[in-house]
Amino acid sequence: MTSVEVEPGAWICEAALWTTWTHVGTCTAEIECQVLSIHARKLMEALRQHELIEQILLEYVSAFHKAVITSKPPASTWPSDLQVPRTAFEDLVSVMSPPVKQVIGLNAVEFLQNHTSVMERADRVIDNFTSQVWSGECVAFAHCTSSGAVVVERVTFSVELCIERAADGAVFAQIGTLGKRYGSLRRPSSRSRKSAIIPNVRFPSRKKEDGEDDLEVLEDVIRGRLL
């Protein structure tokens, strides 16, 4: 039997809140600790008292449940009492509807505005951040760390294509881009400029826009960058 140490602040059996769950292990305390137990039915009753929170909850639960029933080898590991693949908050928010993502993102923007001083905050940066949230260019959210600090994260998503040659396991990747190399601080004349390969290793990829399916992006990468 495999033994796993539970980190401070970790969830145990979150899946039991949102699904009909069968436990797949036991939990034992080796030292004195504190555990917060949540009553699933009473939690639902409390969250449903606020219409907006209920809407976010329904989409969160739907995304979490989908992750539970689709997590299996070989694409991922089996879900457990400690972890369900693809249920990090940013993963779940990324598949929510645009209006809900906007609400969550604007809440993060408001937190930044209220918790940074005028000297620290660049209003132009905040305005640009807000625009990206409205357009769906990024997903933003505020959350608490295990230490209790509140942080704001900005997340964008992309699709990468990994092509592997069966014969030897070699993979297809870009190793550099063609650019100009200057041998001195002074800008040389056009005749003395030399083309050079600038290291830039990456797989064929493209940023995922709001509402796009992974397969759609993958097909676009193949058509636009490989054919």
Count: domains in the chain: 3
Say whether pLDDT at 115 is over 70. Answer: yes
- pLDDT digits 0-9 by tens, 58-114: 999 999 999 999 998 887 899 999 999 989 888 898 888 889 999 999 998 888 888
Q: Quick one: tokens of 46? A: 């409390």
Question: How far is Cα 158 from Cα 217, in angstroms, rounded to an integer?
Answer: 8
Last residue of a domain, one of 31, 50, 84: 84
168, exposed or middle or buried, with CB in 10 Å at 0-12, 13-18, 19+? exposed
Per-residue model confidence (pLDDT) at position 184: 44
Per-residue model confidence (pLDDT) at position 9: 76
Q: Quick one: tokens of 179? A: 């650019």
> Which one-letter DSSP state was computed for residue 208?
P
Are 118 and 151 contained in the same domain? Answer: yes
pTM of full prediction above 0.75: no
Say whether pLDDT at 50 is over 60. Answer: yes
- pLDDT digits 0-9 by tens, 156-215: 877 888 888 888 888 888 887 776 554 444 454 555 455 677 887 888 888 777 667 777
Around 62, how many Cα atoms within 13 Å sit in the side-chain half-sphere?
11
Residue 64: how many other CB atoms lie within 10 Å: 19
Last residue of a domain, one of 125, 155, 185: 155
The maximal CA–CA distance of the chain, rounded, in angstroms, is: 75
Per-residue model confidence (pLDDT) at position 8: 79
Question: How far is Cα 113 from Cα 126, in angstroms, rounded to an integer?
Answer: 8
Best CA proximity match to 105, nearest among 57, 55, 157, 153: 153
Say whether pLDDT at 142 is over 70. Answer: yes
Q: Quick one: tokens of 136? A: 């769906």
Are 151 and 108 contained in the same domain? Answer: yes
Are 183 and 133 contained in the same domain? Answer: no
Residues 150 and 174 sit within 8 Å (Cβ to Cβ)? no
Around 85, how many Cα atoms within 13 Å sit in the side-chain half-sphere?
11
Residue 18 falls inside a structural domain: yes
Could you check whether the bond before residue 188 is cis, i.e. omega within 30 degrees of 0?
no
Per-residue model confidence (pLDDT) at position 205: 83
